[in-house]
Amino acid sequence: MNAKGNCSQCSGAIQFDSSDMGQAVECPICGQTTTLLDPKIEAKQEDERRKKIDLDREAARLRQIELAAEREREKTARLYKLRKFGHYNRARSLLNAYAVLSIVTVVLFILVYFASIIRMNGFPNDAAFSISIGNAFVAFLIKYIGNAIFDIADCAVSKHDASKIQ
């Protein structure tokens, strides 16, 4: 019974007896050594080889995804540690201490101003009062801008943490 196959070197068509299948012979077209295989078997082997390549690619893609997820988990852990143990809390505490000191300073300036009014029986130089009110305004402005920055940072970290939980 005759079978048809292709040379593995030149892809030329070879006709051979089916009993010779699997043997290495010299190709009549190119003269190279080739193994006689049924084209259906060759196609099946090619499909299996392509499936293996596809599986390897998919495995590599999944490894990349896992590495990216691991990097995100590490980033989340670093942000959490920074929020919990790092300079974040110190900066927040300093900002709050600054706010308290600015309030105390404003109160002291106002008390000194009114004490000078009582002692002089009249209004003293308004420049001191203007400076104290200006200082209070700047202090409160810094406090609220600082709190806004920290609140934005809190929201960003919270969103990042929440996205990792889901």
Return the minimum-mean-pLDDT range out of 19-23, 152-156, 161-165: 161-165
Residue 7: count of CB within 10 angstroms of its CB: 21
Taking the C-alpha atoms of residue 89 and residue 106, their distance in angstroms, rounded to an integer, is: 26
What's the confidence (pLDDT) of residue 53?
93
Q: How confident is the model at residue 165 (pLDDT cuts 50, 70, 90)?
A: very low
Beta strands in the chain (DSSP E): 2-6, 13-17, 24-26, 33-35
Q: Per-residue pLDDT for 166 more than 90?
A: no
**25 and 90 both lie in a single domain:** no
Residue of 41, 39, 7, 12 whose CA lies nearest to 24:
7
Whether 114 maps to a domain, the answer reads yes
Whether 132 maps to a domain, the answer reads yes
Full residue range of the structural domain in which residue 135 is found: 86-165
Whether 51 maps to a domain, the answer reads no
- The tokens describing 26, both together, are 């010299």
- Contact present, 20 and 37 (Cβ < 8 Å): no
User: How far, rounded to the nearest angstrom, does the alpha carbon of residue 147 sit from its chain's CA centroid?
Assistant: 26
Place of tokens 């078997």: 41
**90 and 151 both lie in a single domain:** yes
Residue type, 104: V
Top pLDDT among 15 and 18 is at: 15
**99 and 156 both lie in a single domain:** yes
Whether 77 maps to a domain, the answer reads no
Say whether pTM exceeds 0.75.
Answer: no
Return the minimum-mean-pLDDT range out of 14-18, 89-93, 117-121, 144-148: 117-121
93-143 residue pLDDT tens:
777 777 777 778 777 777 777 777 776 666 556 666 666 677 777 777 777
Taking the C-alpha atoms of residue 106 and residue 39, their distance in angstroms, rounded to an integer, is: 94
Q: Per-residue pLDDT for 162 more than 70?
A: no
Place of tokens 């209070």: 136
Top pLDDT among 74 and 2 is at: 74
Whether 12 maps to a domain, the answer reads yes
- SS3 (DSSP) at 37: coil
- Contact present, 158 and 114 (Cβ < 8 Å): no
Whether 45 maps to a domain, the answer reads no
What's the confidence (pLDDT) of residue 124?
58
Whether 151 maps to a domain, the answer reads yes
List, as own/partner pairs, every contact residues 136-139 make where C-beta atoms lie below 8 angstroms and the sequence separation is at least 24, other chains included.
136/102, 136/105, 136/106, 136/109, 139/98, 139/99, 139/101, 139/102, 139/103, 139/105, 139/106
Whether 119 maps to a domain, the answer reads yes
What's the confidence (pLDDT) of residue 16?
78
Q: Considering its fold, how many domains does the chain have in total?
A: 2
39-94 residue pLDDT tens:
677 778 788 989 999 999 999 999 999 999 998 888 887 777 766 666 666 777 77
What's the confidence (pLDDT) of residue 58?
94
Count the residues in the chain: 166
